Structure 1
């Protein structure tokens, strides 16, 4: 029988250790997608999110070098991205580029990130107390950077599993999603530190001197234990705050006579076509189907409820031909009931996605949302600002060589022109209930813009009383793609304390109230429509509305400061003769 010492020696040989570190990394790469919405667990699992990073962080603690840690990071990034985002493989004819680009990108990102984490963990001039906090700041900075700019893609954040716990999710109104990311990463880092600092002969015993506990004085509570107590207290405080906010923000109808001044609601018909919007030559049929779904749902509502409907919402690019007002095309298409005739029969404002040119005679189009009135006129429009990289926006597209490559090799034949401002559109008061005689200002984020904090925030700060997102995720073919998008959007309603209506082609269509609750929805991947009651209370002030993404930006500044300071110190050590 092998002795314990022999057992320990066997599992600390170099080859076996490397294999175990790879297995730990792969375990984390499976845990994180499991914590996020997936096909096995449609809403994800919150608890694995609190420990999903622990195995791979332990592997970094045990890594023999910064390069070895970076390689583990690259493996984690590639595998976790491929598992969580496998539905990108269904992105039309150029799917190999979408899934391949995402996997390659996050392989590189995580290679850099884990090299930096190794530096944080194994630096000898850092105390045990600060290490989990530094890890949390670094991870928050990484998630902010991956969610920002041209390549921004805010999927797979460690904050999302916490959104399943509604009391904790309410903390998003304070520091946005970045506060939740920091909290989740801190918990993972503290648990890692607690495990790594146990028995000195443990296999997971870290190598660097920075992790060795002092031999002279042993405090009553170790630093890892103090961290666990600290984040437990923070969790309790945030959850307590969340419970108070949930009580304060409960719908007025929950308590008789509790209606608050400024509360109001409208009835919105949400139409979910569930058509293949990429199939060429079917626009007239798809338009006829949308019109039929709309009129049928209205007739059904009038028979069963008898209450007026105030607004109709279609999805992103439900109109595939530009619309400026009644023209010869829309006066004749569809043949069964031309669109202009449908608008008159509808008698209500229609919000729909549509391509709009930069000018009447321009060939450059924007992915837009418009409000069309019953007389066919356009009350306002908004052009999508945050475009999908290398699908909706391609750098240097104006160069013939670039256009030729993407058209012939990738299969992308055109791009969208980005919008320039977060336009808010006011629905006319005469089409709304009495409480909205001055009209109702709405923000219309398009596609995955409701996963980015800055677009909805600008709209709410410009006066939007509700947000209506128009999305088309039908190409994904997977429920998990729809629910991952929903979980990201859910936090916008909490951050801004503003109702969010999601009008999608295939799901997840519904209404998210300002507490982040899904109060009504349609089944995914079904052609259907329903009238939904949409709360439209007057906007509330939140800290996030004031500071926006500042917490994520501060985390980035911290990381940059550490990098610059380290470079200065190394430069000083290399040139001792220059001192004095």
Structure 2
């Protein structure tokens, strides 16, 4: 560290890298926090993609500075790096997930007490993952430009772990910045979200290596710079070619109508509002949108959002009859609560489901299997309930069996995704065998909990990335938005923005040829991570 300090002094203490590298105490923590928070601007709805360079470039300099922080001994640099990673991660998650607090205010009399836990507590816990990633990176660190691969190996592994530990939470991974970068997103069809994480870390951290503090803060082209340039050029060329060679084609004979009611969340779960809600749905669903779509009579399939009713639809024969009369024989696919095994004074199982209705019959269903922790089920229930802790969504939801495909007359096999299930890469079509692979992603959701915040836009971006990964069209129907028809290359064909009542009419895009990720996605991350690890090791060997 003494040698580094001397070279930094020669470079001039006024240089930005030097100030960050030599920062200590609260200044070091503040730099990390602010850099992380600025990185959230790369996420929807802002989509200022270059800002992801702020936290990742700063990360390199903070880990450089860990050589002289954290006390004496071999663990000192690792602890210092972990501390910087925690503060950077805390800033990133606080700025990117603050909107979760809106859900606590829907029923403020019951859940306002949990607002600090959602807004501050969850980011604080999630920040443990980048803390671990920074410590691993520091263990692989070297003074040359190849240290960006050490950061990729460390932070990339942390992002993968975040997507899997305790059922996983792969929300706002750093790779989502590339998912918003036009043609560059198409590479997800090869390497998926976790591969994008590794690529994004290398690309956005490379600017830190262009200023060589060991040689008077001079600009020095290096291997990391050429790697990042090749990644950007290669991704852009691949994406542009893939989009140009594959125009959107539609399945013959399918005319979809997506209904977005924009129903206030505090009204949605009140059973007294049931008749008014159904009336609103039926009127909106039969709205004329043009000469060719004068109402339900001119569509083949009508789709409503998640948990569309404040009651069990199968127990309401009058509601079923009203729907059948209004739909005139058309197929309805809707989110709904479903009960199984009820009777004899015993509580049956209750599922957050998608149901397919034809006439007055429910002919197919899918039960949500990936439930939201604290939203739809209570982890460690026996420990927490005595303290008054409950889940946010009324009722106790049971976990469905699956994954499995959903069948609806007139449509190809469907991969159903209820709300949160759309954020997990590699799981969207896990229930489809090679000979019976789904040809459509159907995501019904209710993001009304989060109001007019970035949350619903972030959710839509992640669902859209699943379409690119799998090479399948996405039909997304949301209570308050964002509803959309997306082709298998991630192109938004039709959409309704957040906070708007209306319907979308459109055809069903045909699927793309099966992607590499869909066939071999499990291989992409381990291979790329091993490559990053090898390059990081090479950096140490060459130092």
Shared fold (TM-score, shorter chain, > 0.5): yes
In the TM superposition, what whole-angstrom CA distance separates every residue of 1:221-275 from its partner, at most 9, and x where no partner exists?
Answer: 97x612211221222222212122112211259xxxxxxxxx5462211111111
State whether structure 2 residue 273 is matched by structure 1 residue 268: no
* Selected match of 2:13 from 8, 15, 18: 8
In the TM superposition, what whole-angstrom CA distance separates every residue of 1:65-122 from its partner, at most 9, and x where no partner exists?
Answer: 322222222211222211111110111343523334421211322332222222222x
Shift of the alpha carbon at 1:295? 2.0
Alignment correspondent of 1:366: 351
Alignment correspondent of 2:378: 394
Instruction: Flag the 1:357–1:396 CA change in 2: closer, same or farther, 3 A.
Output: farther
Alignment correspondent of 2:402: 421
**Does the 8 A contact of 2:426 with 2:521 survive in 1?**
yes
Instruction: Flag the 1:321–1:77 CA change in 2: closer, same or farther, 3 A.
Output: same
* Selected match of 2:362 from 358, 378, 383: 378
The alignment of Structure 1 onto Structure 2 pairs a total of residues equal to 501
Shift of the alpha carbon at 1:373? 0.8
* Selected match of 1:236 from 210, 233, 236: 233
Alignment correspondent of 2:122: 102
In the TM superposition, what whole-angstrom CA distance separates every residue of 1:183-223 from its partner, at most 9, and x where no partner exists?
Answer: 1101133322333x345455xx9xxxxxxxxxxxxxxx97x
* Selected match of 2:474 from 500, 504, 507: 500
State whether structure 2 residue 337 is matched by structure 1 residue 330: no
**Does the 8 A contact of 2:160 with 2:194 survive in 1?**
yes
Shift of the alpha carbon at 1:560? 11
Alpha-carbon separation, structure 1, partners of 2:391 and 2:337: 22
Instruction: Flag the 1:201–1:493 CA change in 2: closer, same or farther, 3 A.
Output: same
* Greater Cα radius of gyration, structure 1 or 2: 1
Instruction: Flag the 1:306–1:118 CA change in 2: closer, same or farther, 3 A.
Output: closer
State whether structure 2 residue 48 is matched by structure 1 residue 45: yes
Alignment correspondent of 1:24: 31
State whether structure 2 residue 82 is matched by structure 1 residue 70: yes
Alignment correspondent of 1:318: 308
Alignment correspondent of 1:345: 326
Shift of the alpha carbon at 1:441? 1.6
SS at match of 1:380: strand
In the TM superposition, what whole-angstrom CA distance separates every residue of 1:450-489 from its partner, at most 9, and x where no partner exists?
Answer: 1212331325554221111001001111242111111111
**Does the 8 A contact of 2:473 with 2:487 survive in 1?**
yes
Alignment correspondent of 1:60: 63
Shift of the alpha carbon at 1:557? 7.8
* Selected match of 2:496 from 502, 516, 522: 522
Alignment correspondent of 2:103: 91
In the TM superposition, what whole-angstrom CA distance separates every residue of 1:152-199 from its partner, at most 9, and x where no partner exists?
Answer: 22222111121223321111111111222111101133322333x345
Alpha-carbon separation, structure 1, partners of 2:234 and 2:534: 30
Alignment of 1:170-569 (within 5 A): 170-195=186-211, 197-202=212-217, 225-252=222-249, 264=252, 266-279=254-267, 280=270, 281-297=272-288, 308-324=298-314, 327=315, 329-331=316-318, 338-346=319-327, 347-361=329-343, 362-374=347-359, 376-397=360-381, 399=382, 401-407=383-389, 414-429=395-410, 439-459=411-431, 461=433, 462-535=436-509, 537-538=510-511, 540-553=513-526
Alpha-carbon separation, structure 2, partners of 1:272 and 1:285: 16
Alpha-carbon separation, structure 2, partners of 1:493 and 1:26: 33
Instruction: Flag the 1:372–1:514 CA change in 2: closer, same or farther, 3 A.
Output: same
**Does the 8 A contact of 1:49 with 1:162 survive in 2?**
no
Alpha-carbon separation, structure 1, partners of 2:90 and 2:19: 26
Instruction: Flag the 1:166–1:8 CA change in 2: closer, same or farther, 3 A.
Output: closer
Alpha-carbon separation, structure 2, partners of 1:510 and 1:412: 25
Shift of the alpha carbon at 1:307? 8.4
Shift of the alpha carbon at 1:534? 2.3
Question: Which has the larger displacement, 8-17 or 93-102?
Answer: 8-17
Instruction: Flag the 1:9–1:383 CA change in 2: closer, same or farther, 3 A.
Output: closer
Alpha-carbon separation, structure 2, partners of 1:391 and 1:378: 27
Alignment correspondent of 2:185: 169
Instruction: Flag the 1:16–1:307 CA change in 2: closer, same or farther, 3 A.
Output: same
Alpha-carbon separation, structure 2, partners of 1:6 and 1:157: 34
Shift of the alpha carbon at 1:16? 5.6
Instruction: Flag the 1:411–1:391 CA change in 2: closer, same or farther, 3 A.
Output: closer
**Does the 8 A contact of 2:418 with 2:445 survive in 1?**
yes
In the TM superposition, what whole-angstrom CA distance separates every residue of 1:370-425 from its partner, at most 9, and x where no partner exists?
Answer: 11112x2122111112111122122343x3x5333345x77676432112212212
Alignment correspondent of 1:259: none
**Does the 8 A contact of 1:453 with 1:549 survive in 2?**
no
Question: Which has the larger displacement, 364-373 or 144-153?
Answer: 144-153
**Does the 8 A contact of 1:144 with 1:553 survive in 2?**
no
Alpha-carbon separation, structure 2, partners of 1:422 and 1:411: 24
Shift of the alpha carbon at 1:444? 1.5
Instruction: Flag the 1:13–1:450 CA change in 2: closer, same or farther, 3 A.
Output: closer
Instruction: Flag the 1:12–1:145 CA change in 2: closer, same or farther, 3 A.
Output: closer
Shift of the alpha carbon at 1:499? 0.5
Alignment correspondent of 1:138: 154
What is the TM-score with the length of structure 2 in the denominator?
0.83
Shift of the alpha carbon at 1:50? 4.0
SS at match of 2:41: helix
Instruction: Flag the 1:303–1:160 CA change in 2: closer, same or farther, 3 A.
Output: closer
Unaligned runs of 5+ in 2: 1-8, 70-76, 105-109, 538-543
Shift of the alpha carbon at 1:20? 4.7
SS at match of 2:94: helix
